[in-house]
Amino acid sequence: MKEFDLNGKWALVTGAGSGMGRTTSIELAREGANLILVDICGEAMGNVARELEAMGAEVQTFCVDVTDPEQVQRMADTIHTRWGPLDVLVNNAGIAYMNHMIDTTVEDWRKLFDVNMWSIIHMVKAFAPEMMKRKAGQIVNISSGQAFFSVPTWGAYAATKFWVDGYTEALRYELYWHKVGVTCVYPGIVRTPFYDTITGGLLVKLGLKVLMATASKPETVSRLTVRGIKRRKKMVIPFIMWPVYLFKPMLPCLFELSGRLVAWALRKE
């Protein structure tokens, strides 16, 4: 299949002010794309916009809460009026959360659902119809390696990423007939501010230090993501997640034992 030429195309990235949102925007700009940056933090987004403009990219910014469907729809109406249908939509916005399932409050669940799930629904509903009418475009949803293996104390977060996986799969089938591609990305641990809000006892702190020492750079995952966009891949799985993706179905007892041991170790954290 011929690669998707991003030069001169309009790409929108949510959560663009930091982490993988920033690095994915930079990688898209390197391919010649024009960027529409979306973030709830205007200052951080403005800093990224200046980086991209220094690279020669045309950049537009929208300070929007992507969990609010009315804000998202107003933004979409403005974008469609000024620049037409998007060529690429990257649903990157997301939040981390770590706690035992039984201790996760309804408020915490709602916040996770709003950011990690409802924001994708709002963005797709706002932008996909115009892509379908034009019969062109690519939608990218960021899931997680935890869609393959749900780690104890990360269950609530993992549940939202399992949802992203299932939602994206069905969306890919449906939009295929409208010539709109859909890609799901499954990052492992990535060295970004995403994990800065995680708190816990000694084992959690030690575990996070080990994870951060072995974590992928966001630039690496973003390069894979943009390569996946260009090749219209249905899945983007970083190298570190391939063993989990391949071996969990073949060695379920090993992963079952690993999950139980981690849960036992963290039972008092």
| Lowest mean per-residue pLDDT among 121-130, 206-215, 256-265 | 206-215
Tokens describing residue 30 = 């390197």
Q: What is the pLDDT, as a whole number, of residue 3?
A: 85
| Catalytic residue chosen out of the listed positions 157, 173, 176, 245 | 157
The CB density around residue 230, as the number of other CB atoms within 10 Å, is 16
| Lowest mean per-residue pLDDT among 8-12, 74-78, 199-203 | 199-203
Q: Give 10-265's CATH code, choosing from 3.20.20.60, 3.40.50.720, 1.10.1660.10, 3.30.365.10.
A: 3.40.50.720
Entry pTM: 0.89
Query: How far is residue 61 from each of residues 42, 122, 149, 236, measured CA to CA in Å?
Result: 8, 18, 36, 27
Q: What is the pLDDT, as a whole number, of residue 196?
A: 57
Q: What is the pLDDT, as a whole number, of residue 169?
A: 98
The string of pLDDT tens digits covering residues 131-188 is 999 999 999 999 999 999 888 888 999 999 999 999 999 999 999 999 999 999 999 8
Report the DSSP beta bridge partners of residue 13. Answer: 37, 90
Chain mean pLDDT for the chain: 90
For the chain, domain boundaries:
10-265
Q: What is the pLDDT, as a whole number, of residue 261?
A: 85
Active site residue 157: yes
pLDDT at 199 over 60: no
State the DSSP string of the chain. ------TT-EEEEETTTSHHHHHHHHHHHHTT-EEEEEES-HHHHHHHHHHHHHTT--EEEEE--TT-HHHHHHHHHHHHHHH-S-SEEEE-------S-GGG--HHHHHHHIIIIIIHHHHHHHHHHHHHHHHT--EEEEE--GGGTS--TT-HHHHHHHHHHHHHHHHHHHHHHTTT-EEEEE---SB-SGGGTT---SHHHHHHHHHHHHHPBPHHHHHHHHHHHHHTT-SEE--GGGHHHHHHTTT-HHHHHHHHHHHHHHTTT-
